[in-house]
Amino acid sequence: MRLADAVPAEPAPLTAPSPPGLVPPRLSVIVPCYQEAANVIPMVERLAAALEGTPWEVIFVDDDSPDGTAAIAKQIAARDPRVRCIRRVGRRGLASACLEGMLASAAPYVAVIDGDGQHDETVLPRMLEALEQGRAEIAVGSRHVAGGDAAAGLSPLRCGVSRAGAALARALLPVRVADPMSGFFMLPRPLAEELAPRLSATGFKILLDLLLSAPRPLRVLELPYRFRARAAGESKLDALVLVEYLGLLLHKALGGAVPLRFLAFAAVGAVGLVVHLAVLSLAHGALAMGFGAAQWAATLAAMTANFLLNNRITYRDQRLRGARLVRGLLLFYLVCGIGAVANVGVASLLLRDGIFDWGVAGAAGALLTLVWNYAVSSTLVWRAR
């Protein structure tokens, strides 16, 4: 066979016309949602009013809400081709939902907006105009520039947290952005697809992930809007979201060299060490239990704490429940037990051969255990479904 025969021919250009009366969307609005059944219909109505005259579509990305969010979106989609729905089963997370929605779009531009009605959809046409005119690569709905306001939608505590988080982010960002924690923004779809492989896609702050993942500073235009009070549903901001946010900043500060999950796993391990020492002190010191028995009790307590925290934080999007939780705990005990044996073996070998002193040998064994526990836990205990 000649080499020329083995090379596939270039695909023929797509020249098939659109169906009569159907105009392809110029803008896809991505709405990540969980437990937002009451907000689906109002969201579609508001988008239709705000984007009148612009070919648009909305993609609801629902993380298998038990309140029927996806079912309502699909009922509307059955009679309105501008409405689409992606129902995700077995995976969770706002950032990954936004990314999945953007990658499912074929429109030239994609926007992200919350499904709870707090973002002002009337700003979308101005965002689109700015991008089409080349005035920016990302248009951001901002609460912290002149004309913007967050007072109606955030409590004083959440306002303080938002501003503190924004200040931390600005220290890392290569461009000045007043509201890097905004969840309301728009960008060209080709840019989203270019950045997608670089994203951690973990946590709640997808805009910050995009800005920190870009290989060059992006041109950002912030447009003011007034953050509304929640129309329905409950806020998803909790302490774990803040932990994920800090983890994302650390991950990006390290240049993405260390996986975000590994950082979270290591942080949980540090908490487990504190639990281990506390239980050991209580059992051996206060309760006068023999050291061997106290050490086993402390080890079991630390492994249990590590498992529950990892299930809640590190693998939040793959959280185990019910029978799978019990099975996962037993498997985690086994994984950590093997890791402990490896820890002692490696440390003892390095110390016996005189390669390192006891401190370095112990640290090397602990590092091996951490890597082992993380790798095996990710592939066996919390393996993706």
Instruction: Please determine, for residue 236, whether its predicted confidence score (pLDDT) is greater than 60.
Output: no
Structure tokens belonging to residue 149: 């306001």
* Residue 354 DSSP label: T
Return the C-alpha torsion angle 318, 252, 375, 364, nearest 10: -140
Of the listed ranges 86-100, 324-338, 342-356, the least confidently predicted one is: 342-356
* Coil vs helix vs strand at 60: strand
* Helical ranges in the chain per DSSP H: 3-6, 40-50, 69-77, 94-103, 124-132, 156-172, 189-195, 206-213, 239-253, 260-280, 291-309, 323-352, 358-376
Provide the β-strand partners of residue 57: 28
Question: What average pLDDT does the segment 76-86 reach?
Answer: 95
3-state secondary structure at position 33: strand
pLDDT at res. 166: 66
Across all residues in the chain, what is the average pLDDT? 79
Q: Taking CA 115 as the corner, what is the angle to CA 239 and CA 70, rounded to the nearest 5 degrees?
A: 105
Amino acid making up residue 257: A
Q: 0.75 exceeded by the pTM?
A: no
Q: Considering Cα of 140, then 142, then 148, then 153, what sign does the dihedral take?
A: positive
Closest CA to 136 of 148, 124, 144, 128: 128
pLDDT tens-digit readout, 203-212? 667 888 898 8
- Cβ–Cβ < 8 Å for 103, 193: yes
**Contact present, 58 and 47 (Cβ < 8 Å):** yes
What Å distances lie between residue 374 and 90, 109, 257, 293, 369, CA to CA?
Answer: 20, 38, 16, 27, 8
